[in-house]
Structures are given as structure tokens and as C-alpha cells.
Copies of this chain bind each other. A is one copy, B any other.
Amino acid sequence: MVEPFNNPAAAESGPTREHLLEAAGEVFGEVGFRAATVRAICQRAGANVAAVNYHFGDKEALYSAVLQQSCRVALAAYPVDAGLPADAPPEARLRAFVRAFLQRIFSDGPAARHGRLMAQEMIEPTAALDHLVREDIRPMAQRLAAIVSALVPPGTDEASLRRCSMSVVSQILFYHHCRPVVSRLFPDLEFHGEKLDQLAEHITRFSLAALRHWPAPAEPPAA
């Protein structure tokens, strides 16, 4: 056996594999999948150039492993409900959702990598995205939908509900996805500490104002 990368049991072996995952997370997050070179990753990991192919098969398999691990790390660091009971008022749950999401994206630690990786995945989707949407993003979207559903008038149709959910997340993701433009337009903006909390508060208030005053569903046309 000279290629342990397809051995599921060996997936937790050796420190080199861990170092590669760590280094690859940094490099991929900094320059993206395509611009990242296995040589740069291996150098940062203190490993040989052949280490990636030996431990993971090829560059893309390493990237896939990085993406899934970074998602786990980010969600573990900043849980969706931030320790809030499921029966808390929807306003509080929305506020917690927005805050945790922003922190997950703008944190300094390794949790921030996931945000950068996802942003790059939006430009050049890889096969790893399907797995991620199925396992992590869809459940999160359903959680938000539940919160939004408790805020809009009862009987709001499904399509409006989905669009309202997206109006909420869009405000969160915007500052991250469009950071190059945002920081050029407003160089004084910051995205950590108290400033991040203020941003979360703004998004929450804006969304609450819209959702609370969302027009009641129109009368369905008689069939």
C-alpha cells in the first residue's frame, strides 16, 4: 500500500496529514483553490511536495477535505442559535442568528477561513459544494425560515417566505462578499468587536422592520 488516501481508517493518521490540512486551509483561504499551489501548501506544512498526493490523492481532494473541516469548525465556534432556547421569541432568535452568522464570517480565528472558502466557491464551484449545501447550508436555511415564518403575518405564501429569508442573509453576506468595494467606498468601516455588534443590530432592526410590516397575503383568486 503506497496510497493511504483512500483508506477511511487511515484518515486520522499521522501529523503530516493534519499539518497539510491546516496549511491548505490557510493557503486556500488566502488565494483560492486555483491560485493556491501544492508547493506553497507543502512548504507551509513543512512537508514534501509529494505529500499532498500521497495523503489526499490530488489537490482537489485536499481542497474538499479542507472545505468540509472548515465548515465544521466554523459552526462549532459560532452555533446557529448561540445557546438560545428554541422557544425564545423570534425577534431574539433572529438577532442571535444574524450575530452568530456575522461572527462566523468575520472572526479572526480559523473559523473565518470558511467564509473565504465559501466566497470562492461562489465564483468557481467545485464538487464539494453539493455536499456542503446538503449537509450544512440547507439545515441552516430551514432554521432561518422558521424564524422568519414566526415574524411575518400567518398565511404568508411559501415564495414570499423564502424571499424574505434571503433578504435577511443577503444583508449579512454582503459585507463579506463585497468587502473590496465596501472598504474602498467607506474605508473607516470595521468588522470586529463592537462595530460588528452594531452591524448585527442594524441588520436585525432593518429586517424586523420589514418583516413586521410585511403586507398580509392577498386574497387567493377564486378558482
Chain A residues with a Cβ under 8 A of chain B: 31-32, 34-35, 84, 88-89, 91-92, 95-96, 119-125, 129-130, 133, 137-138, 141, 160, 162-164, 166-167, 169-171, 173-175, 177-182, 184-186, 199, 201-216, 218-219, 221-222
B222 touches A84 (CB 8 A): yes
Tally of this chain's copies: 2
Closest B residue to A160 by CB, please name it. Answer: B202
CA distance A63 to B64 in the complex (A): 30
Closest B residue to A172 by CB, please name it. Answer: B170
| Set of chain B residues within 8 Å of A88, measured between Cβ atoms | 222
A35 touches B32 (CB 8 A): no
CA distance A214 to B204 in the complex (A): 12
| Set of chain B residues within 8 Å of A203, measured between Cβ atoms | 167
Nearest CB of B to A212, in Å: 7
5 new A-B contacts, CB < 8 A, other than A122-B179, A167-B206, A208-B216, are A32-B124, A95-B219, A169-B174, A177-B178, A209-B211
A92 touches B221 (CB 8 A): yes
| Set of chain B residues within 8 Å of A209, measured between Cβ atoms | 209-211, 213-216
Nearest CB of B to A191, in Å: 13
Closest 3 CB pairs of A and B: A170-B174, A209-B216, A210-B210
| Set of chain B residues within 8 Å of A212, measured between Cβ atoms | 213, 216
